[in-house]
Structure 1
Amino acid sequence: MAEIQQKDSGERKKGKQKKFNVRVDFTPMVDMNMLLITFFMLCTSMSKPQTMEISMPRKDLLNEQEQNKVKASKAMTILLGKEGKVYYYMGEPDYENPEMVQETDFSPNGLRAILLGRNQAVMQKIRELKQKKANLEISNEEYLRESAEIRKAKDSPVVLIKATDFANYRNLIDVLDEMQICNIGRYAIMDITPGDLRLLQDKTHDGYADDLKEVIEYRELKP
């Protein structure tokens, strides 16, 4: 509540204005603030954390030999290196042929273009499915169910993601984002093998090659 108090010292000089002391009482504002806080706490919906589905293979069922059984025409392996560098090779690995490993990047014309090229058949089916949904021929639930089946069909590509000890977490997230953008339904994060590290070692000619050599020796000696 606001109050105005007049300060009168008795006799007032001619032509001099009166002075007033103004005091604003903010006590009622405390109750109002509490009501507002309670209102927003009860009416605001808390943001839910967004999760990403990651296919993690069971180590007791999927070893290096079984990984190599993936059909060569559908398999692609992505290797995450140092300082954001990304490499890949198609089909079964030939550890005696370092030329099979190619370097790319995370630009739209890099890894994404490669994944889209490998996944053309699935992308075409997804586009047709989206058109049916736009024409109201199928419901949203049917679209989600059928699109999931298309992505995980047996003829869809398989992507194995392997990170070195020098890769950063951001690059792994970038690769997983590309899996979603390119509608890759069958992918898994795998432990990198000494053979993959040797392929990367042959592609580098600086101090990074020595670092990879130390990691290879450690993994080979590790029981």
Structure 2
Amino acid sequence: MAELDTSGGGKKGGGKVRSKKASTRVDLTAMVDLAFLLITFFILTTTLQKPKAMDLTMPDKQEDNKKVELDVAESRTMTILIGKDNKVEWYIGQLLKPIAGPTIEGFGKNGLIKTLVEKQAEIKRTQGKDMIVIIKPSAKSTYENVVTVMDQLNIIGNQIRAIQDISQDDVGLLTAHGLY
């Protein structure tokens, strides 16, 4: 049991004789119990911050370590190279003979998201199939930029995408345009 003693200390020695005051006792047990009940209530009823995670589908591990390559249509494949300074460079088709691009863009509302919407609609209209997006982050890119690209693909509803290692030719293209 807790108690609060408010009696003043007495002076020793001479002086006037005063009457002795009774000390005041305050029992703090109930207040401590109430505090712990309130803390427990708020901990149990508070919604904790939900983790922000993105679902990624990863390929099955190959038992025999063979690389499996799938043929994809060049005319509906967009490659996004993520460079430094929050910039990306994209092209459709192959690097050496692109169908469209290469074009440098940022992440603003008139940047990559606008291009993704336009190209997704164009490929859907002309070929009747969804666009395939290959994301290649460079050593100079940031994790935030990769997440931004993935978020923008989620916004437009793109379901066919892959994250790949960047090739030396792609690094050369980024270097030539000052993004590496």
Given the two structures, how large is their TM-score scaled by the length of structure 2?
0.71
**Root mean square deviation of aligned Cα:** 3.6
Distance 2:122 2:102 in 1: 24
Distance 1:50 1:187 in 2: 20
Q: Which residue of 2 aligns with 1:158?
A: 132
Mark the CA change 1:75 to 1:202 in structure 2 (over 3 Å): closer, same or farther. same
SS at match of 2:74: coil
Q: Which residue of 1 aligns with 2:158?
A: 184
* Maintained 8 Å contact 1:3/1:23: yes
Distance 2:72 2:173 in 1: 19
Q: Which residue of 2 aligns with 1:201?
A: 175
Higher-RCO chain (CA-CA 8 Å, sequence separation at least 6): 1
Shift of 1:72: 1.9
Q: Which residue of 2 aligns with 1:40?
A: 42
The one-letter code sitting in structure 2 at the alignment partner of 1:101 is P
Q: Which residue of 2 aligns with 1:79?
A: 81
Q: Which residue of 1 aligns with 2:11?
A: none
Write the deviation string for residues 43-76 of structure 1: whole angstroms up to 9, x where unpaired.
445444233122445684445xx4xx32122110
* Maintained 8 Å contact 2:124/2:130: no
Distance 1:106 1:81 in 2: 12
Distance 1:22 1:180 in 2: 68
Q: Which runs of 5+ in 2 are unaligned?
A: 8-17
Distance 1:22 1:77 in 2: 80
Distance 1:24 1:100 in 2: 80
Q: Which residue of 1 aligns with 2:105?
A: 104
Distance 1:77 1:57 in 2: 19
Distance 1:41 1:100 in 2: 54
* Maintained 8 Å contact 1:70/1:92: no
* Maintained 8 Å contact 1:162/1:191: yes
Q: Which residue of 2 aligns with 1:88?
A: 90
More helix by share: 1
Distance 2:35 2:133 in 1: 55
* Maintained 8 Å contact 1:56/1:189: no
Q: Which runs of 5+ in 1 are unaligned?
A: 11-20, 125-153, 213-223
